[in-house]
Amino acid sequence: MTTLRPDDRNQAVLILQKQLNAQGAGLYLDGHYGESTEQAVQAFQRRAGLVADGVAGPKTLAALAGQDTGHLLKQRDLEQAAERLGLPLASVLAVNRVESKGEGFLPNGKPAILFERHVMRERLLEHRYVLPGLASPEATVESLETRYPGLVNTRPGGYAGGVAEHQRLASARQIHDTAALESASWGLFQIMGYHWQRLGYARVQEFAHAMAESEARQLEAFVRFVEADPALHKALQGRRWAEFAKRYNGPAYGKNLYDVKLARAYAQFAGQPEAA
């Protein structure tokens, strides 16, 4: 689904303005996503309980169309996360905009995931899994690599995307349920399943169930992830965006300008000049 942003000019913006007017916005229908349209979007988002960021993404458009948004992230969820982490709301809004996938669920209602075949190999070795008739975990992963290279491999890749990632996960679960669930990244913030224990879940199955419940539960996993890493937490509290991005995204964070995007998003939500 299309995402409409400030300064867009197209037919989709005109349709958006008509939908907002049906909600009482009183906009001039010019197809330009100007300040008045942005304010009208934010006002609708607040009424709907959605994240009030002024961007008309799939969630806002779904709400305007009258679809159920009960499982989607709400403004109050972000406010509670900010309070729990000791952060200004603007910091959490910035992280949500830059570091989240935007949608924690697929159109079929399943949580957004990405199955990592190289992690599956590592987790099978970690669990010391041995297939019947084989002598060791090492022999097992070698056999599985030959038979199922899309599920067990030394190299990342093999992604199918979208709903098909759940088909990959289902096949991997037939090999080893726990290792498979640990080998996928889950939800809005792409938290890897193998973090389940340090995040305080009893089992990875409990973690996966929580990720399938709502985007609020996915945000809670992110909050736990930050709390479990004091250095990451302090970087976020101090708005040291480069350090936070490096710890969260890895050393290649600069290629995608994560730190720059975080700083700009924070400045916008905090109402500061962009130079901040």
Give the CATH number, domain containing residue 55: 1.10.101.10
Q: Could you tell me if residue 31 is inside a domain?
A: yes
Residue 173, classified by CB atoms within 10 Å of its CB into exposed (0-12), middle (13-18) or buried (19+), is middle
Cα→Cα distances 76→46, 51, 191, 259, Å: 10, 8, 21, 25
Beta bridge partners of 186: 113, 191
Confidence grade of residue 1 (pLDDT, cut at 50, 70, 90) = low
Specify if 145 maps to a domain: yes
* Residue 272 pLDDT level (bands cut at 50, 70, 90): low
Which of 157, 192, 212 is the C-terminal boundary of a domain? 212
The total domain count for the chain is 2
Instruction: Enumerate the β-bridge partners of residue 184.
Output: 115
Q: Is residue 268 very low, low, confident or very high in pLDDT (cuts 50, 70, 90)?
A: confident
Q: Is 11 helix (H, G, I), strand (E, B) or coil?
A: helix
Q: What is the mean pLDDT of residues 242-248?
A: 95
In this structure, which amino acid lies at residue 193?
Answer: G
Give tens-digit pLDDT for 143-190: 999 999 999 999 999 999 999 999 999 999 999 999 999 999 999 999
Give the span between the Cα atoms of 248 and 160, in whole angstroms.
24
| Residue 1 domain boundaries | 1-69
Q: Is residue 135 part of a domain?
A: yes
In a domain, 1, yes or no: yes
pLDDT at 96: 93
Question: Mean pLDDT in the chain?
Answer: 94
Which residues contact residue 134 at a Cβ distance below 8 angstroms, ignoring those fewer than 6 apart? 140, 143
Identify whether 97 is part of a domain: no
Kindly state whether residues 120 and 199 are assigned to the same domain: yes
Nearest Cα residue to 113 out of 43, 197, 32, 207: 207
Q: 88 lies in a domain?
A: no
Quick one: pLDDT at residue 47? 92
C-alpha separations of 196 from 152, 170, 202, 265 in Å = 21, 19, 8, 29
3-class secondary structure, 115 = strand
pLDDT in tens, 67-96: 888 889 999 999 999 999 999 999 999 999
Confidence tier at 275 by pLDDT (50, 70, 90): very low
Those residues with Cβ within 8 angstroms of residue 235's Cβ, 6 or more apart along the chain or in another chain: 243, 244, 247
Sequence-distant (6+) residues with CB within 8 A of 190 are 101, 114
In this structure, the answer to whether residues 34 and 119 fall within a common structural domain is no
> 113: which strand partners?
186
In a domain, 133, yes or no: yes
